[in-house]
Chains A and B, each alone.
Chain A
Amino acid sequence: MMAPTKKQENIGREELRRIIETCQSVENKRLNPFLVDVNELVAVLNQYFPNWSNPEELCLDAEALNQIASIIKMQSEWIKHRATSLYRDPFLIEEKLRMLPTERIVEIFKEAWHPLVELEQLTMGSLEAALRYWRELAPIKERWQKENLTLSKVSPTSREELIKQRILLSESFTEELEKLWKELKEKAGNNQRIRYWNFIGAETYDETIRRAYLTSFLVTYGYAALEVHPLEEEIFIRPFEKQVIKQDAMAFSFPIVISFEEWKKWRQIQ
């Protein structure tokens, strides 16, 4: 097979650009898409395709093919629209719109117009709710301070860092876990479960964080299980009598937010 000459390649590229422009013009001006002979355009693409080797030329070819596909889509929509009972000759409608006097157009429109009915009304209930919200809304200064708190960068922490920050004691980690497990069993008592927040919650926020951190290991290591009730938005923790190791079970993470706000809310209830 003979290699294409430079001139042939230039003609081919021009042809592709012409196809793209024609298709775009039909699409933008909403012309009848059947004015375009798709078969002819595809034949042109086929004719020049063996000449293309560099990425730029192949992209141009793909773009031309994409534009032809858009025309085919337009043709399909055109047929669909014409097949609907809503279709009427657009030129006839345009002519009517231009010719009819304003009053007549309004009369016609009113015949086909069913304005929406909607009400806007304050009720005593909504006013009460709004006032309640206002009373409970913290002053803007406090809210901004809280936002600053939540804006702090979140990153994973290590056990050493927690010891340094006095969240964890330096005593052996296993000992701490054992102690907490014993406490959990005692607190769960006959119910064999306890509300998660009632277990991890403590006098201070720091202590609450420490307990939540250790509790997560109780669950991970099979000393206890979480019971989540999404509808009631309640989480319970259930201690096991003996450590349960499920080797076949798939492990998954269940994030629980222990924010300062949540802790404050819990403290208020207590």
Chain B
Amino acid sequence: MATNPVTLRRKAVHSLKIRRAVQLLFYKRHWEPGVKGWELRRRIGSDYPRIINLLNDYLDRLGLMVRIVYDEEASLPENPTLDQMDKARFYVVLKETQISGEQKLVSWRIDDLAGLAVSLGYIISQGGRASRKDVEEILREKLPGWRIEFNLNRYLKAGYIIEDENGQFYLGWRTRAEVDQRKLVDLLLGTSETKMQ
């Protein structure tokens, strides 16, 4: 049975738009990776949420997913409006949390990663804001002083945390994109239903 030419054309258009979305999402064009919703709308068209869903289905097979970070993370919208989508930032992240083999720490030293986990866990527990002094104090229990300074600078540079002029730490854009904050807190308290590997 011959395929309808209109369907064929629609498929070709979708395919082209998905390719464009991949370029925008994977390749860093500004300082921060990912792309804003309004940029997707401008480059792909107003049906970009549909294109992102199609791309997500494809990425799922590769163990990846599109992560949408809304302006107001605390109130994650169930049915986001187009306006909320436009203001949100879209990233591609690993879907699976457990990476096997040599890549399992993604080039991090185990104590640096633990320091990051502790810093983020502490900031989250304090309602998203904690003083540098308090974070340093909790890290000092298990890390040497010089390592703390080095690590905090690394977390700041990578965008996991941000610091204001009063020495207060907040969660940075990368934490909002990469870390499932609720899950981290639940796991720390041992209340998660997910079994540890």
**Which chain A residues have a beta carbon within 8 Å of chain B's beta carbons?**
30, 77-78, 80-81, 84-88, 90, 92-94, 96-98, 100, 102-103, 105-121
Contacts and interface: CB of A to CB of B under 8 A. Distances in A.
A116 B138 contact: no
B114 A116 contact: no
Given A84-B74, A118-B28, A108 B117 contact: yes
B184 A112 contact: yes
A119 B138 contact: no
Interface string B75-113: 000000000000000011111011100001110001101
Interface in B148-197: 174, 177-190, 192, 194, 196-197
Contacts of A115: 93-94, 106, 178
Describe A's contact surface by its main secondary structure.
Answer: helix
Interface in B90-149: 91-95, 97-99, 104-106, 110-111, 113-114, 116-118, 120-122, 124-131, 138, 141-142
B97 A86 contact: no
Per CB-CB distance, the 5 closest pairs between chain A and chain B, nearest first, are A109-B117, A93-B125, A112-B184, A114-B93, A90-B125
Given A92-B189, A93-B122, A106-B114, A111 B183 contact: yes
Nearest to A123: B27
Contacts, number: 142
Contact of B74 (A86, A92, A93): A86
Nearest to B183: A112
A251 to B, nearest CB: 35
B114 A114 contact: no
Contacts of A80: 74
A114 B178 contact: yes
A182 to B, nearest CB: 46
Nearest to A83: B74
A30 B64 contact: no
* A84, A94, A112, A117: most-surrounded residue (chain B CB, <10 A): A112
B182 A116 contact: no
Contacts of A112: 97, 179-181, 183-184, 187
Contacts of B49: none
Contacts of B181: 86, 112
Nearest to A86: B182
